[in-house]
């Protein structure tokens, strides 16, 4: 599973200053993936 994630997305390890920072960056990541699937070059998962 981790290999599939790494092949599809940047799965770099990150550190967070606090829980709010983690939530903010997670939401930013999800938004980026949705935009790439809808409007970019990332194929949708069915």
Residue 22's domain comprises: 2-39
pLDDT digits (tens, 9 = 90+) for 15-40: 889 999 999 988 998 888 888 888 98
**Would residue 24 count as lying in a domain?**
yes
**Would residue 25 count as lying in a domain?**
yes
**Residue 1 has what pLDDT?**
47
**Is the pTM higher than 0.75?**
no
pLDDT digits (tens, 9 = 90+) for 2-15: 555 666 677 677 88
Burial 2-38 (b: 16+ CB within 10 A, else e): eeeeeeeeeeeeeeeeeeeeeeeeeeeeeeeeeeeee
Number of separate domains in the chain: 1
**Would residue 26 count as lying in a domain?**
yes
């Amino acid at each position: 599973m981790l290999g599939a994630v790494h092949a599809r997305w940047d799965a770099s390890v990150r550190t967070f200053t606090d829980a709010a920072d983690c939530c903010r960056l997670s939401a930013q990541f999800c938004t980026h993936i949705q935009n790439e699937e809808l409007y970019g070059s990332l194929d949708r998962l069915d």
